[in-house]
């Protein structure tokens, strides 16, 4: 059954459900049995590297690509209608504005298609332009607007008819960093103001962390983990998520248990790990993940004494990178792979220099355990 489009300006935000959504392109499985439930008014980001399946998933929701199998439901009704009948707003990276129309005419276009009355169109277009901060640019043509202004007009056009859901395909990717960061906050403000359901695609981890209520991390057509930003960053459930979301120090090896305590053996050292909810199999392979800001670095002098509740590694400062609010230290150690630490500037810590002998340490509970076998432990949560 096809859901009936809602009237302009009516109803509450829609609930989206994907059930075993699958897409094959010949022998290539682009999307493999995706299951997601998105609550009405929620901002969910599909995050992953190129070719991971996130854009194909968005295109199937929009109706641009036909699923090989599975279902798309909006408000519990299965959607099979063509794209133009799905009552879904869409914002593209390249804006897709009509160059021969003014900004106001571009915003009005979806209302005219729906045969909305002229006085209602004027009202809604005015409200939409005010919402994106461009009430004074309604008579401007796209070529007279900056990239950021064009993207605001594209957003206003996608929202003006009060769609059931808004889909955004890397809409800020063509903008410079400062403007992109400004529009991230502006877009989130508008979404919260309207309480519209938004599905956002990006490969930018920081953008996803800033904007999203929840993030679905895609890898090879599957969802590795679906969770809130803090959960993904602090408690990744796979090595892929730990490595893809932000920077990580990753120690690979096998897990063992002795006298009730767990440890990771890398072959050159043994590192203590926090108590595990599920004891690992004998010699289970995996990794210990430590975020750079959790790694504390001190000069390796006589007074450098890590506490018993810390892991510690001797290292040498290889490089110091000044980033304004913090310094990033690249550390060389005997395992052959570099460590990365980040210290906030102005906290009173001793500034280190290349060549300094140091001790890098971290609280045992700040190391996150992930296993090589995806079937181990808790599965990716994909439904509420």
What single DSSP character describes residue 281?
A: P
CATH of domain 16-234: 3.40.50.300
In this model, does residue 377 exceed pLDDT 70? no
Share of the chain above pLDDT 90, in %: 66
In the numeric block, the tokens 């920081």 are attached to 206
Higher-confidence residue: 285 or 64? 64
Higher-confidence residue: 303 or 135? 135
The pLDDT, as a whole number, for residue 11 is 56
The pLDDT, as a whole number, for residue 277 is 66
Q: Which of 248, 285, 281 is nearest to 264 (CA)?
A: 285
The pLDDT, as a whole number, for residue 152 is 92
Q: Report the DSSP beta bridge partners of residue 314.
A: 359
* pLDDT digit string, tens, across residues 237-267: 999 999 999 899 999 998 887 777 788 988 8
What gap in Å lies between CA 295 and CA 336, rounded to an integer?
18
CATH 2.40.50.140 fits 292-363, yes or no: yes
* pLDDT digit string, tens, across residues 348-357: 777 899 999 9
381: pLDDT confidence band, cut at 50, 70 and 90? very low
Pairing of strands 310-322, 357-363: antiparallel
Longest dimension (CA), the chain: 80
Is residue 35 within 8 Å of residue 20, measured between CB atoms? Answer: yes
Both tokens of 130, joined, read 């005010």
Is residue 91 within 8 Å of residue 169, measured between CB atoms? Answer: yes
């Amino acid at each position: 059954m096809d859901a009936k489009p809602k009237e302009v300006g009516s109803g509450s935000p829609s609930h989206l459900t994907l059930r075993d959504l699958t897409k094959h392109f010949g022998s290539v499985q682009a999307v493999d049995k995706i299951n997601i439930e998105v609550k009405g008014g929620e901002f969910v980001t599909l995050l992953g590297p190129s070719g991971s399946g996130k854009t194909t998933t968005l295109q199937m929701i929009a109706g641009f690509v036909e699923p090989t199998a599975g279902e798309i439901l909006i408000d519990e009704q299965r959607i099979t209608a063509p794209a133009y009948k799905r009552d879904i707003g869409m914002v593209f990276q390249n804006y897709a504005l009509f160059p021969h129309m003014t900004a106001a005419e571009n915003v009005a276009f979806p209302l005219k298609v729906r045969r909305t009355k002229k006085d209602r169109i004027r009202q809604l277009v005015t409200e939409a332009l005010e919402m994106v901060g461009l009430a004074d640019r309604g008579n401007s043509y796209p070529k007279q607007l900056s990239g950021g202004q064009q993207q605001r007009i594209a957003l206003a056009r996608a929202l003006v008819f009060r769609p059931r859901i808004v889909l955004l395909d890397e809409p800020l990717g063509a903008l410079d960093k400062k403007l992109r960061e400004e529009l991230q906050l502006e877009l989130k403000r508008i979404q919260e103001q309207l309480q519209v359901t938004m599905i956002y695609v990006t490969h930018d981890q920081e953008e996803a962390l800033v904007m999203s209520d929840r993030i679905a991390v895609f890898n090879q057509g599957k969802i590795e983990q679906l969770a809130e930003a803090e959960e993904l960053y602090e408690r990744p459930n796979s090595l892929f998520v730990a490595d893809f979301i932000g920077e990580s120090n990753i120690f690979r090896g096998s897990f063992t248990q002795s006298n009730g305590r767990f440890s990771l053996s890398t072959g050159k050292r043994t590192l203590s790990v926090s108590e595990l909810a599920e004891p690992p199999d004998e010699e289970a392979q995996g990794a210990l993940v430590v975020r750079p800001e959790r790694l504390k670095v001190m000069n390796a002098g006589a007074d450098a004494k890590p506490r018993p509740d810390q892991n510690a590694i001797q290292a040498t400062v290889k490089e110091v990178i000044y980033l304004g609010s913090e310094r990033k230290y690249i550390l060389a150690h005997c395992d052959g792979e570099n460590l990365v630490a980040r210290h906030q500037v102005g906290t009173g810590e001793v500034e280190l220099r290349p060549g300094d002998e140091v001790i890098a340490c971290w609280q045992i509970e700040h190391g996150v355990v992930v296993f090589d076998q995806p079937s181990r432990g808790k599965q990716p949560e994909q439904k509420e």
